[in-house]
Amino acid sequence: MVTVRNDRYVIPVKASNKSDIKGIIHDTSASGSTVFIEPAFSVEANNKIRELMIREAKEIERILRVLTGRVQEFGLQINENVYFGTRIDLAFAKGELSYQMDGVCPKISDSYVVKIVEGRHPMLNKETVVPLNIETGERFRILIITGPNTGGKTVALKTCGLFCLMAQAGLHVPAKHGTVLPVFNDIFCDIGDEQSIEQSLSTFSAHMKNIIHIVQNADDRSFVLMDELGAGTDPEEGSALAMSILDGLNEKKCTVIATTHYSDLKLYAMKNEDMENASCEFDINSLQPTYKLIMGVPGESNALAICKRLGLPVSFIQKAKDYLHNDDIKFEEILHNIHKNKARTDRERHEAQMITKEMELMRAELDEKIQRIEIDKEKQINKAKDDAKRIVAAAKQETQSIIDRLKTIEEEGGYGRRLNEINDLRREVNTLGKRVFGSEDSEDTAFIEEIPVTDETKFKAGDTVKILKLNQTGTLLTDSDQDNKVVVQAGIMKITLTVNDIVPVKQLKSKPEPVVRVATGVKRPDHVSMEVDVRGHTVYEAIEVIDKYLDNVMMAGLHEVSIIHGKGTGVLRTAIQDYLKTNPRVTSYRDGKQGEGDFGVTVVEL
């Protein structure tokens, strides 16, 4: 069996047989019964191994030196990466802590105002802890908290101090939005029992040692937290000492929160405008603290009430009352009434909050209903628009059909004998217009009468007018502009017209007497020129002008007219003559002769 001692291979041999093997002894067992010998024949081999191990160590050292030199070139960047990596890790740790404790970012105050809204100590279970609401530094600088033991006074002190430190360290705090915390230069604490047998310090001495340090070093930028101020000595002397300490800190304008059991301090705080009382609520029925901090109300003693509920004989309790001063009894009765009124006020406030929540829910439901109504309204408007589009499309189709029939009548001629058919078509157009513009009137609706148009007639928005081409009424949306144009609302349609296309009308209370008219034929135009000039028009415009002109010529009974189109490139001349080829009213046409305009004129025979 071979083993290793001091990096050399050896064999274990009983101490009694060590002389049987020549070699070097490197070690012995703890009992001394075994020695570890390096045989003489293996010394050279072990030396070689040792030499190789030394060379290996030197090579490792050389490699590490080379690598270290290369890394050293990037030393600045590595240090920066370590720094920023640490900052990032800290930021993530802060975020994780805030997430776990449902923290918020407090508002930082410049005026040393401490306001905690539903704060929770981070070490307590957030599901069961009673939230803390406390404030100081705005209306008053010193807050004195009274109440029974285990009521939550010390936890309130620690929560305030811890929240300030967390905020100054850049951490979120487990509270609600609205929490305000300042940045203090110093936070002094005197919390807990610091008595020491080794240093011969009693409870009172330990407290006073801390308080002396606080009084000597605190200033207007300090936050002072003192638990059981003045405790550990005679109550009267302790109360007097506590009041003098608070006076000194108030003169230095320190922000202070202190807890106490002394009744004298309750009255002292009520008389000083820079101080305020607070109390930890206690439920006499269950003999348990509720851990709720009540601002503005000093705490009750509750000692006699607790003893009575626990079963102490009534005679003992009455005897204790006899030993109390009348002023103490009256003060406790006043505190009791204050707490009763405060409880009633809290209940009423809670009921008001519930009513407010119900009203907010009702308002939310109403807002939702209004939103649904608006959506339905939008749907109805869109549906109406779609219906209007369909009506207009159908009207266009029917209008085109009427136009085609009129063209047929025009092509076939015989205006006089087909006048009845033309009137039927006119009535169809009127009916179609009423259906499109929604202005079809019944016998019981109001009637209108046209107002003669003069040079002084002015069209203003809101006037009722009649659209001559459609024989429909509408309402002006705009005044007449410089171009004598207006926008008319006729049913669901908005139309831009000139003032020549409309006449003002007025409403009549009764239907006017019908006027009987007898058609004797088609009225001819008063005067029709023997020629029409379409120079400067586009092909489409020229054809439209010529078409209307030929209508008037036919009704005037003329047989030969001239169309002046100019020479130019010949495009307009060709288009007009192509149109004349297919026009049934035209018998023949030719270019103008010399003296008639040559190729710039087309002479038409009807």
Classify 49 as helix, strand or coil: helix
Instruction: Count CA atoms within 13 Å of residue 398 on its CB side.
Output: 17
* 8 A C-beta contact, residue 435 and residue 395: yes
Q: What is the pLDDT of residues 248-259, one digit of tens each?
A: 999 999 999 999
- Whether the per-residue pLDDT at 329 is higher than 80: the answer is no
Residue type present at position 334: I
Helix (H), strand (E) at residue 542? helix 539-556
* 8 A C-beta contact, residue 495 and residue 487: yes
- Residue 221: the pLDDT is 93
Q: What is the pLDDT of residues 161-181, one digit of tens each?
A: 999 999 999 999 999 999 999
| Cα-based distances in Å from 203 to 50, 230, 383 | 68, 11, 86
Q: What is the pLDDT of residues 48-80, one digit of tens each?
A: 988 898 999 999 999 999 999 999 889 899 999
Pick the CATH number of 440-508 from 2.60.40, 2.30.30, 2.10.260, 3.40.50: 2.30.30
Nearest to 584 by CA among 416, 412, 418, 409: 412
Nearest to 531 by CA among 568, 558, 555: 558
Mean pLDDT of 367-387: 87
- Residue 443: the pLDDT is 41
Least confidently predicted of 171-185, 302-316, 515-529:
515-529
- Whether the per-residue pLDDT at 535 is higher than 50: the answer is yes
- Residue 519: the pLDDT is 43
Residues paired with 584 in a beta bridge: none
Q: What is the pLDDT of residues 454-463, one digit of tens each?
A: 777 788 888 8
Classify 144 as helix, strand or coil: strand
- Residue 425: the pLDDT is 60
- Residue 197: the pLDDT is 42
- Residue 526: the pLDDT is 59
Q: Which residue has the higher pLDDT, 261 or 53?
A: 53
Pick the CATH number of 107-310 from 3.40.50.300, 3.30.460.10, 3.40.640.10, 3.40.1280.10: 3.40.50.300
Domain positions in the chain are 3-71, 107-310, 440-508, 531-605
Mean pLDDT of 314-343: 66
- Whether the per-residue pLDDT at 419 is higher than 80: the answer is no
User: CA angle at residue 393 from 391 to 397, to 5 degrees?
Assistant: 115
- Whether the per-residue pLDDT at 416 is higher than 60: the answer is no
594 CB burial (10 A radius; 0-12, 13-18, 19+): exposed
Mean pLDDT of 409-430: 57
Sheet of strand 23-28, all strands in order from the earlier edge strand to the far edge: 3-5, 8-14, 34-39, 23-28
Average pLDDT value for the chain: 81
Mean pLDDT of 254-267: 87
- Residue 280: the pLDDT is 83
Q: How confident is the model at residue 86 (pLDDT cuts 50, 70, 90)?
A: very high
Which of 88-97, 305-314, 321-330, 337-346 holds the top average pLDDT?
A: 88-97
The pair of structure tokens assigned to 42 is: 């293996």
Q: Which value, in Å, is the radius of gyration of the alpha carbons in the chain?
A: 55
- Whether the per-residue pLDDT at 520 is higher than 70: the answer is no
* 8 A C-beta contact, residue 567 and residue 592: no
Pairing of strands 447-450, 502-508: antiparallel
Mean pLDDT of 502-530: 60
- Residue 246: the pLDDT is 92
Q: How confident is the model at residue 540 (pLDDT cuts 50, 70, 90)?
A: confident
- Residue 569: the pLDDT is 83
Distance from C-alpha of 354 to C-alpha of 582, rounded to nearest angstrom? 87
Nearest to 334 by CA among 300, 370, 374: 300
* 8 A C-beta contact, residue 447 and residue 508: yes
- Residue 440: the pLDDT is 45
- Whether the per-residue pLDDT at 229 is higher than 70: the answer is yes
Q: CB-based contacts of 112: which residues, under 8 Å, 6+ apart?
A: 137, 182, 184, 220, 221, 223, 255
Other beta carbons within 10 Å of 143: 24
This prediction has a pTM of: 0.48
Other beta carbons within 10 Å of 478: 14
Distance from C-alpha of 576 to C-alpha of 370, rounded to nearest angstrom? 62
- Whether the per-residue pLDDT at 606 is higher than 70: the answer is yes
Task: Taking each helix axis as running N to C, give the angle between helix 571-582 and helix 539-556, from 0 to 180 degrees, rounded to the nearest 10.
Answer: 40
**Domain boundaries 531-605, corresponding CATH code:** 3.30.1370.110
* 8 A C-beta contact, residue 562 and residue 602: yes
Beta-strand ranges (E) seen in 325-471 are 447-450, 464-467
